[in-house]
Structure 1
C-alpha cells in the first residue's frame, strides 16, 4: 500500500518529514503540496503520481475535506483508474504512524483506513487541567 499526503502549503511534506524522523525506514510515502506554483502545477503532479501508481492500493491523506487539494484529488481520480484507494481528510501525525504500522499487519485497505481514522480521533485530546 502506498501513502500520498496532499495539503495547502508545505504541511504534507513536513508531516512526512516528521514521520521519517520517528520511523526512519518508512517507505512508499509521498507528499504533494499546493504551493505558490498554483493549482495547475499541483494537478499535474497529482495526475503523474496517479498514472504511475494506478495499479497500487493507495491511502490518500488530505489536510482539509473539500479544500482545493481534496477537490483536485477527486477530479483526477475521475480520469485515472486507480485500482484501490481510500481518502482520509483532517490528517495528523498519529494517523500517518498508524497507517505505517497497519500496512505491516494487513493488506486490507478498508481495515487500515478504519484504524487510521480511529488513531486520528484518539490522537487529538484535551489534557485535564490541574487545579
Structure 2
C-alpha cells in the first residue's frame, strides 16, 4: 500500500487528516507533519525525512501550498532519497485526499499522484443559486 505523508503550515496537516478520518475512519500508512510556529526548516526536514523512511517504498507527500517550506523540503527529499519512489503534490484538499486514500490499494505512487491532480480539480465547485427550486434538488457529495 502506498504510504501517504501530509504536511503543511500550522496545523493544516493534522486538521485535514482529522477530517479525513472522521469520514473514512483511521487510516494505515498515513503520517502527519505539521510545520508549526517557531519551528526551523531543519526540524521540519528531520521530521519529514524520518517519516519518509518509515512509510515504505512508494509514497505520496501531500502539501498545503506549492513553494512553501513543507513543499520545498519534500521536493528536495524526494530527490535525495534514492531508494524510494516519492511523489509530491501541492494544493491538497479534502476531496482529493479522501479519494486517494480510498483508492490507493496496490496502485503505484505515480499513478495516484496523477489521480490526485484530477480529483483535486474535480472537487472544486461553485454554488450559484438561480432559483429556489435548485436548493431542493441540490446534490451534495
User: Under a length normalisation based on structure 2, what TM-score does the superposition of the two structures give?
Assistant: 0.82
Counterpart contact for 2:78–2:87, Cα < 8 Å: no
The total of aligned residue pairs comes to 129
Which residue in 2 is equivalent to 1:111?
Answer: 111
Deviation >4 Å, runs of 4+ = none
For the pair shown, the structure with the greater C-alpha radius of gyration is: 2
Gaps of 5+ in 2: 132-141
What does 1:1-131 align with in structure 2 at a 5 Å threshold?
Answer: 1-36=2-37, 37-53=39-55, 55-104=56-105, 106-131=106-131
1:44 Cα offset (Å): 1.2
Task: Give the secondary structure class of the aligned counterpart of 1:70.
Answer: helix
1:56 Cα offset (Å): 1.6
User: Under a length normalisation based on structure 1, what TM-score does the superposition of the two structures give?
Assistant: 0.88
Q: Distance in 1 between matches of 2:15 and 2:83?
A: 26
